[in-house]
Structure 1
Amino acid sequence: MADYTPLLNGGVGEEEKPKTVVEEGKYESKKLWVIAGPAIFTAICQYSLGALTQTFAGLVGEIELAAVSVENSVIAGLAFGVMLGMGSALETLCGQAFGAGQLRMLGIYMQRSWVILLTTACVLTPIYIFSPPILVFFGETSEIASAAGTFALWMLPQLFAYAMNFPIQKFLQAQRKVMVMAWVSAAVLVIHALFSWLFILKFGWGLVGAAIMLNSSWWLIVIGQLLYIFITKSDGAWSGFSWLAFADLWGFVKLSLASAVMLCLEFWYLMILIVITGRLKNPLIAVDAISICMNINGWDAMIAIGFNAAISVRVSNELGAGNARQAKIAVIVVSITSIAIGVVCSAVVYVTRYWFPYLFTTSEAVAKETTKLAILLGITVLLNSLQPVLSGVAVGAGWQAIVAYINIGCYYLIGLPAGILLGFTFKFGVVGIWSGMIGGICLQTIILIILTSLTNWKKEAAAAESRINKWGGSIGRE
């Protein structure tokens, strides 16, 4: 087997290893940022596709803003969570296989994930088709539900783009080819911004123009990344299509489902906040205000998601290579870095609370309501600087099932009921709903900190070796 040791050391070759704790921290920070920087940029670019569409829709009118916000946050948000979660099984498998130097397995894993995610997309299609009655059932007004439902139907192509995109991204991330994703996403974002303005505002196509551009942009990302993989062969990780993609599917499905449940419970948690807010008095203003806050939170969350991807790659690579100590150091460094950035972002939200709402709306009432929620937004931004990072550690180590149970307890048995109680029973409105749900995030973060602190990393490295042997069996016999 080829020697991939220099590659797994981040290309440092014979570079002298750090001798002190401070040197180790700096060394790991450099390796972390090589992945995290482009990953954050990619996540921001891709999130901005929907966020920009929402911004342009808000300049058209309140009902258009509500339609795009609800579809983006609820319908597409549900699909995004499922697809990202199902695809995240590759973060564990591809990352650990790459760490062990078994590159040829990565292409097979990606193809298996395509099979599973495209099937899942077909299963999710009825949710898009029947979204108006679903939204009404969960408390949205008929006006918002109808507009969002129409937009959701037009956005079906995006669902299948998700199914292709997430396995591709995990495949590239595991090999640290994050700059490829960054360049493709940046190019598509420029195209999206220009043509969205043209179609939505200049030509006056409204929601139809928004759907055309959002679908097209996501498929451009998929096509750009695929062209890179097919042309370069990804340094041997891609060896063409294979029938092995259909082998061992059930075991792969089980790991994918565990990943999906873990991440979906996180994605849906704040998505539910928008749905519940729709049951308050004056729901249009409340939904628009909370949607703007979630938009800001989403942009900030892309930083944490970038670190999530980076630490998942670092932990899975190091465990796959049997480097337990380095995996532990990586977790400490990324946690400190992410918290520091979270503090800065939270402060920015608070300082600009009187100004940023007007970037998304021309309504004075919506802007004032958004300003009231800025303090809660700042707290959420701070918490979300660490929580996704710890989830990334879980994915890199293969703890998806354990974290899924933690999420159920903290989010849906404690946080959500507390939010409903404060919002409706004690009549604190959207402030009460959001405050209760923040409590759930706090509890989940504390538990994940304890879990990570008590981890035996040598044991996790041994488990990674066992996992690679299990999943690589059929490929080795090809």
Structure 2
Amino acid sequence: MDNSTEERLLLLEEFDREDLKKRVWNESKKLWRIAFPGIIARVTSFGMIVVTQLFMGHISELDLAAFGLQQSILVRFVNGILIGMSSATETLCGQAYGAEQYHMMGVYLQRSWIIDGVTATILLPLFIFTTPILRLIGQEENIAIEAGKISLWFIPILYYFVFGLTIQMYLQAQQKNKIVGWFSASSFLLHVLLSWLFVIKLGFGLAGAMSSFIISSWLLVIGEFVYIFGGWCPNTWKGFTKAAFADMLPLIKLSISSGVMICLELWYSSILVVLAGYMKNATIAISAFSICLNINGWEFMVCLGFLGSSCVRISNELGRGNAKAAKFSIKVALGTSIIIGIIFWVLCMVFSREISYLFTSSEEIAESVSRLHVLLAFSMLLNSIYPVLTGVAVGAGVQSMVAFVNLGSYYAIGLPVGILLGYVAHLQVTGLWIGLLSGVVVQTLVLSYLIWKIDWNEQVNKASERLGRFFIETTKGSDESSNLS
């Protein structure tokens, strides 16, 4: 099961023989082969939420504020937990693929369905009792009531997350990214078409917008099920097995540490949206803040493509036992992502006001969004750095380290700064965003230092030990193919 010392030395010798230009070119090809379909999948998946908000904004300002509050707080809260829990699948599947333990990937996928499904069911009451929860934390009554209506429509989306997130990570780990990109893009286009039909043409309002979201999301998952069960993953999917229920505790621990890492990151901005709800003219404040978060979030989805690709590349190389290639992959991924971030920084600085009119026809909301454009632009620039570092941590399986960094930078620094500037210094939403940005800056600096200090040879050994602990012999007793298509 473990890579031999001789095989590792051969990998290192082969890596060292290549000149720098060739290494950068080869690594860039591997990176983009994973990142580009991943970017399409992430952008279109998040785009479905943004498109729904676009149509909500053209129904009424109240629906826009309620959906913004619902999406920015509750959906982000739950999505953060499930993305984090699912990233354990990304770590294990990526390392198993690198170590050529292909049949274990299907077992890890089934275990993640069980863990994430139970987690989603535990979180279900949040969607049922949204209105009283929002009242309890002091949100305006009309927004709380409308958000409560919207939240019931999100229950099918909750279980879509369970399957959609884990399947994407399973397919991505074995570099079957094109199919994920095609399914996601098709689902997004269908969602745009159905939203236009249900909301604009047929006038179904809230019910039309949310029905479109549900239909498009579940058709995506059904397509992925057909792809996996239909025989297109012959080496990694061997059918349902009782082994999925065995040895769950170590995976649960890894899932929880992954969940905490992502949740602390995503909840951070959600808390700031809640705080925006206590400001004067809360409907305008929440709408403007959530629009900026969605613009920032959409660009963040591009960067998550690099998070996913860096995670896959790191986990694959650690599984193969090649520490040097893992370190080089980090440099190429980070450099590429920063270039993308600079491009978005320029676009935001130039076209901020025009972008706001995509979400609303209200001059007051558009003006509020425009005042945040400089802070939004720098947030986009930082988005190009710390997701790659997070992807490196997920690929190496050191999520608990990032969780502590997130806790300190966001909640000990960013949140207090945002509250002080927003309420004490009376900078309102601008103060909250400065606080958000300060937390991200601290997180980026600390993560950069910690990743730089990691002993990658030690991480190779840890990956080997982790895979050995989870390994189960294939029930069919057949040799695994060493060359997946």
CA shift for structure 1 position 217:
1.4
TM-score of the pair, normalised by structure 2: 0.93
Matches within 5 A, 1:289-300: 289-300=288-299
CA shift for structure 1 position 116:
0.7
Amino acid at match of 1:468: L
The aligned residue for residue 333 of structure 1 is 332
User: Cα RMSD over matched residues?
Assistant: 1.7
The aligned residue for residue 410 of structure 1 is 409
CA shift for structure 1 position 328:
0.2
CA distance in 1, matches of 2:168, 2:421: 40
Deviations 1:327-382 (CA, angstroms, capped at 9, x unpaired): 00000010111111101101101100221111110101011111001111111111
For the 8 Å contact 2:56–2:63, the answer to whether it is kept is yes
Matches within 5 A, 1:401-440: 401-440=400-439
CA distance in 2, matches of 1:477, 1:258: 33
Amino acid at match of 2:368: E
The aligned residue for residue 158 of structure 1 is 157
For the 8 Å contact 1:65–1:288, the answer to whether it is kept is yes
Amino acid at match of 2:82: M
The aligned residue for residue 212 of structure 1 is 211
CA distance in 2, matches of 1:51, 1:17: 45
The aligned residue for residue 96 of structure 1 is 95
CA shift for structure 1 position 144:
1.0
The aligned residue for residue 33 of structure 1 is 32
CA distance in 2, matches of 1:73, 1:319: 36
- Which stretch has the larger CA shift, 324-333 or 244-253? 244-253
For these two proteins, the number of residue pairs brought into alignment is 466
Structure 1 gaps of 5+ residues are 4-14
Structure 2 gaps of 5+ residues are 4-13, 478-485
TM-score of the pair, normalised by structure 1: 0.95
Deviations 1:219-275 (CA, angstroms, capped at 9, x unpaired): 111111110011124131000000111101122111101100001111111122211
Amino acid at match of 2:126: I
CA distance in 2, matches of 1:16, 1:252: 33
Q: Secondary structure at the match of 1:352?
A: helix
CA shift for structure 1 position 477:
11
CA distance in 2, matches of 1:210, 1:410: 37
The aligned residue for residue 185 of structure 1 is 184
CA shift for structure 1 position 474:
6.8
Q: Secondary structure at the match of 2:353?
A: coil
CA distance in 1, matches of 2:250, 2:460: 21
For the 8 Å contact 1:415–1:438, the answer to whether it is kept is yes
For the 8 Å contact 1:131–1:145, the answer to whether it is kept is yes
Amino acid at match of 1:335: L
CA distance in 2, matches of 1:142, 1:17: 64
The aligned residue for residue 455 of structure 1 is 454
Deviations 1:179-207 (CA, angstroms, capped at 9, x unpaired): 11111111111111011111112211111
Matched, 1:472 2:459: no
Q: Secondary structure at the match of 1:354?
A: helix
CA distance in 1, matches of 2:18, 2:427: 55
Matches within 5 A, 1:9-88: 19-88=18-87
CA distance in 1, matches of 2:245, 2:463: 23
The aligned residue for residue 230 of structure 1 is 229
For the 8 Å contact 2:15–2:325, the answer to whether it is kept is no
- Which stretch has the larger CA shift, 332-341 or 227-236? 227-236
CA distance in 2, matches of 1:290, 1:98: 41
